[in-house]
Homo-oligomer: A and B are copies of this chain.
């Protein structure tokens, strides 16, 4: 009820603050008999890790996890699987100047007003550090999806006003990880990197858009009415820090099409039912139709910047705030595995729910 759990069947509960002793996640509802590939989980966690390149924060988080329960000889036993990742490089002193001022567009003000208490040490639960829990749980979810040959891949499709104009079908998404901005189009990624470096030099920050694609989705995932697959994806994405928008299939631009253009006409392709176009984004009536799911997620520019800003302190006085510390000038590249993880959690949840559909 306090918002720290996600998923109805495959349920994760995350805990831990950014500058406390660590971040943990408990997965309840993972079926027994699943081989838990720890190398894969580590690999996913490394994709999220700060300090991967010069365009990310220099904060050095050693995200090695400990498995605390639920696995025997590498296999899930049907019990809760829990992971804990220690915070090693928290340097809580960095935040001492924030005790009495509210950082613009951060959660300082709202948390303090809501809870009557403020954990000034680095954002507490509002920090992106919490996404460690999501990436780990998402990696376990991906292990289940692999068994069904379902494949999720996300990439950066725009940074600021630099857009990758190719559709995902025109891109070789296997090259996404080859550059530090995670855009699979070389020409665009070079521009994006330059823009981020410039923003960094200026003490400023940038936003962007991540596109996520699901291939080999089975037909029938999603519950009609309130738990449509796109509704649960939208919630999952908007639950990620710094996100401001979600669109699936034709999205906002599709609102400008006519029905006769937008309708995805069915066709029989060698005995298998497909649609000629896929403006629906793989979902009709809230339920997957077997075509690719694809969606975009908007990330605002990071609110932590190094330019001096106006703000007020706790007593309501006008003050100047100049932050230092170690933060990303652009979180979008590092958010790619987080988007994938949240997508995986939604799909696994609905994959399991779908087992309940027929007598």
Contact = CB atoms under 8 A, between A and B. Distances in A.
Contacts of A29: 1-2, 356
A346 B327 CA distance: 33
Contacts of A113: 219-220, 287, 289
A226 B4 contact: yes
Interface stretch (A19-27, A41-49, A173-181, A185-193): A19-27
A91 interface: no
B69 A105 contact: no
Query: Copies of this chain, how many?
Result: 4
A34 to B, nearest CB: 5
A349 to B, nearest CB: 10
B68 A255 contact: no
Given A1-B353, A250-B244, A16 B82 contact: yes
A206 interface: yes
Given A267-B318, A268-B312, A230 B219 contact: no
A98 interface: no
Interface string A60-100: 00000010111010011111111010000000000000000
A57 to B, nearest CB: 14
Contact of A254 (B17, B207, B258, B296): B207
A4 B33 contact: no
A317 interface: yes
* Interface SS of A by simple majority: mixed
A125 interface: yes
A52 interface: no
Contacts of A247: 244-247, 252, 298
Interface residues of A, number: 153
Contacts of A257: 160, 207, 300-301
B244 A239 contact: no
A255 B300 contact: yes
A311 B68 contact: no
A285 B238 contact: no
B298 A251 contact: yes
A232 to B, nearest CB: 7
A209 B251 CA distance: 10
* Most central of A28, A119, A205 by chain B CB within 10 Å: A28
A292 interface: no
Contact of A359 (B28, B33, B224): B33
17 contacts: A1-B353, A9-B356, A13-B26, A21-B66, A21-B69, A24-B24, A31-B357, A76-B359, A77-B119, A78-B114, A78-B115, A105-B262, A205-B259, A233-B238, A245-B251, A259-B301, A267-B310
Given A13-B80, A17-B69, A234-B237, 12 more contacts: A14-B80, A15-B81, A24-B82, A107-B286, A144-B359, A204-B259, A207-B262, A209-B252, A233-B238, A238-B246, A244-B248, A247-B247
